[in-house]
Structure 1
Amino acid sequence: MGTFRILVFLTFVSTGLQNVDSTYTYAAENALRNLIFTINSYQIQARPTGTVEVNITLNIITFNSLDVRNQALTTTGYFRLAWSDRRLDWSNKTPYNSDINAIYSDEDTIWRPPLILENSVNDISVMSDDSIPIRVANDGTLSWTPSGIYTTQCETDVTFYPFDTQVCDISISTWGYTSSEITLNLDLPPVESTYFKENGEWRYISYSTSTTNRGRGGNSFSSVTFHLTLKRRPMYHILNTLTPTILSGISELYGVQTSCRVGRKDRLLVDCTVVVRSVPDSGGRQHPNNFRQHISAVRVSCIHLGSRNDICPTDNTGSGVPSFRSGNGSSKLVAEDCQCTDDDNLPEKKRIFPFLLLFMC
C-alpha cells in the first residue's frame, strides 16, 4: 500500500512538471524569435511565396459624414488583412509548437503587403500603422488590423434630394507588386458591422463588393472595392427646408400681412435664396444634363426678382409702399424706409407670381 502511494505521488509530480514545461515563458519566445529571425535569416524584403494571397475584410465603426458638396465620404473603421508566411511556421518545431501559440511583431520586422486606399482624398500613401501589432500564429498565418479615419471620394446624385440614396466606394489596391505577385481576395464576410454606430443624417442600407485588376504604368495590380449604400434621413430637411418653403409660398399666395418693416420683395428674395442655398450642389456630376442649368436659372431668377420694381407698385409719394433703388451705381439693392402695405391692393397675377417662383425654387 505504501509503495502504491509513492508511485501515485511520483506520477502526479511528473505530470505537474510536464504541465509547467508546456506553459508560455519569456525564454521560450525569445529562443523562438532568435531561431526565426537570426538563425534562419528572415529577410523582410522578400515576399513569402511567388504569389501571396491576401484576404481582406472591412470593419465599419461609423460613417462620420457624407459631404455631398465636396463629394467625400468619411468613415471610421479598420481593415483585417490575413496572409500566410511559411518562414514563420513553427508548428512542427518542438518544444515551441506546444509552448507558444502565437507571437506578435510589427511592420518593421515582418514582410507585409503594401496596400493603398485607391480613392483616398487626403492621402494615397502605403497603408501603415506602427501602433497595431501583427499577429503570427504557429502555422505561419498572419493577421493585421490597421485602423483609421478614411476620407474617400464619393460621386453623389442629388436629383431626388432630400430623398436621395448614395452609393460610395472604398477601394483597396496593391502598390508596387503586380497582380501576379500579390492577389487580393475578399474574406467572409467581406464587410462587418458588429460595432457599427449609426450616423444622424445617413442610414447605412447595404453593401456589395467587386474585385478587379487595374492597370497602372503598363502593369496590372489587384484591387478590391466595397460599394456602400447610404440613404439620407429626410425628416430634418422636411422640417427645416420644405415646410418653411411651402408655408412661405402659401403666405405669398394668400397675401398674409406682416407687421414688420420688410417689403414683399425682401421677404420673397430671402425665401428663394434660402431654398436655393439649401439644395446641395455636387458640381453637376451624376445629374441630368439640365439639372445644374436649372439651379443656375433659379438663382438668376431670384436675383432678378429682387431687382424688379413691378412686383409691388412703387410709390414715390411717401405712402409707405415698398420701393427699391440702386445705391451709388452698385449692384446691391438698397431698400427705402417703408411700412408694409395691404397685399389686397396688388393685382391678382402679381400675387401669384411669387408663389410660382418659390415653387420652381
Structure 2
Amino acid sequence: MSEAITASATLPQPTDVKAAVDASLAHFFEQRIAAAQSIDPSYVHLWTTIRHLSGSGGKRIRPYLTSLVYSAYSSHESFEKVLPVATAQELLHLAMLIHDDVIDRDVLRYGTPNVSGSYDTHYETLIPEAKERRHFSDSAALLAGDLLISDAYLMISQASAVTIEQRLSAQELLHQAIFHVVGGELLDTEASFKKLASAHPITIAEHKTASYSFVTPLLIGATLANATREEQVFLKQLGYCLGIGYQIRDDLLGSFGDETVTGKSTEGDLREGKRTTLTDEFLRLATDEQKAVFHATFGNSDASGEDITALKHVIEESGAVAAIEQSIAQYENEASDSIEQLSIDDDAKQAFRQLVKRCLYREK
C-alpha cells in the first residue's frame, strides 16, 4: 500500500457540495433558458420544466462522491475545482430519472409532476384524448432527457480547471456508466413481465445502481486527483459494495418501509410480481406452506389489502427480512475493508465510513 495521503484541511460536507451544485445548476438552467428564447417559447417552456424538476429534490450524492474522493487525494485543493465535472453527473442522473419515469409510466417525481406529468397538464386543452396526450407528453420527456445527457458531456468538456486528458477520461467513464445503466434498466424493465425468470436482482443492481451511481462518481474523482490504479481498484470495490447494498436496502424498503417516510407504496413490487433480493431470499428459506401463500398473491395486481398483508407476514416469518439485513451488513463490512485499503488519512476514511452508513441504513 502507498503512503497515506493527507487530504486538504477540510473535507467537503454533503451540504456544502449540494449548495455548490445547486448554484451551478441554477446558472446552467439560466443560460439554457436564455438560449432557448431565440428559438421558440415552447422550447423555453421545456427548459423551465426541467429546471423546476431539478430543483424539486435530490441529495446530489453523485457530485458529493466525486468531490469527496478528489479532496481525499488532493492536498490543498478545493472541491470547487472539479465542480463542473461533479455537476455534470447530476445532469446525467436527472436524465436517467426522466427516462426511467417514462418507462415506469410515472407522472410524479419528488412529490411533484415530472416532465411527463407537467406536459400532460400543459397539453390538456390542446389534446383532449388522454392516450394521445400521454404520447406527446412522454415525447417531451424523452427530449428533455436527451438534452441533459448531451449537456453532461459538454459541461465536462468545459471544465477548464482540470487538464484535457482528465476531461477525456471523465467523459469515457461517463460513457461506461451510461452503457451499464441502460443494460441494467433493460433487465429491470423485463423483470416486470419475466417475473421470477428475470435476471438476478444482484446483476441488475450492479449495472443499474452501483455502476453509474457509485462506481463512476468515485472513479471520476480519483481520475481528477490522479490517484493510482491500485487506489482506483479499491474505490471500485467500495462503489460496488455501496451500490449493491443500497439497492438491497431499496428492495427491503419497497415492501417493508414506512410509507410516510419513503413517500412510496409498499405494495407495488409485490403486486407487480417483481423479482428482488427479498423475493429470492424468501423462496430460498420459505416452507411449502409459506410458498403457497406467496404464489397465490405475488404478481396479482388485483390482490386485496388483506392478501398483501398476509404475503408480507409470511415473507417476514420465513426469515427473509432478517437475511436481507444480514446481507446488507456483509456489504457494509466489505465496504469497510475497501476503505481500510485506501491510502488516505483517517479523516477521509471516517468520511467514507459515514457515507456507507447513510447509504446502507437509510429509511427512504
TM normalised by structure 2 equals 0.24
Greater helix proportion: 2
For the pair shown, the structure with the greater C-alpha radius of gyration is 1
- Pick 1 or 2: higher relative contact order, CA cutoff 8 A, min separation 6: 2
Greater strand proportion: 1
TM normalised by structure 1 equals 0.24
